Amino acid sequence: VIGYTSKLIQDQQAKTIADVVSNDAGVQAVQGYGNFAETYRIRGFKLDGDDMTMGGLAGVVPRQVMDTQMLERVEIFKGANSLLNGAASSGVGGMINLEPKRAEDLPTARVGVDYT
């Protein structure tokens, strides 16, 4: 299992999950579905958003491109490890689990500036 934390996501200024998983040589992000969603390849096998899990729950990740601000951690399971969460992924190469952030005790506000 390979995990990328919110600190890395913030330091890297990753905007999408594709930006995060690009750190792993065995995972490729591919634009699909009219360029408003992302599909992935893990070890060369296709992985749709339907096969991703959110907090270990299958079927709750939207197909649209997701913002990384709400994620505490992005985990990549490769090979048979993808069955650890109980979700049978169609991608035999592996799966991606997204761990959402939890509410903090104090209100938090973040501001960022981007130029592209």
- Residue ranges of domains in the chain: 2-100
pLDDT digits (tens, 9 = 90+) for 34-50: 667 788 888 888 887 77
Domain 2-100 matching CATH 3.90.650.10: the answer reads: no
pLDDT digits (tens, 9 = 90+) for 77-92: 888 777 766 665 566 7
pLDDT digits (tens, 9 = 90+) for 52-78: 888 888 878 877 778 898 899 999 988
- pTM to 2 decimals? 0.82
Residue 51 has pLDDT above 80, yes or no: no
- Higher per-residue confidence, 67 vs 5: 5
pLDDT of residue 24: 92
Q: How far apart are CA 89 and CA 59, in angstroms?
A: 11
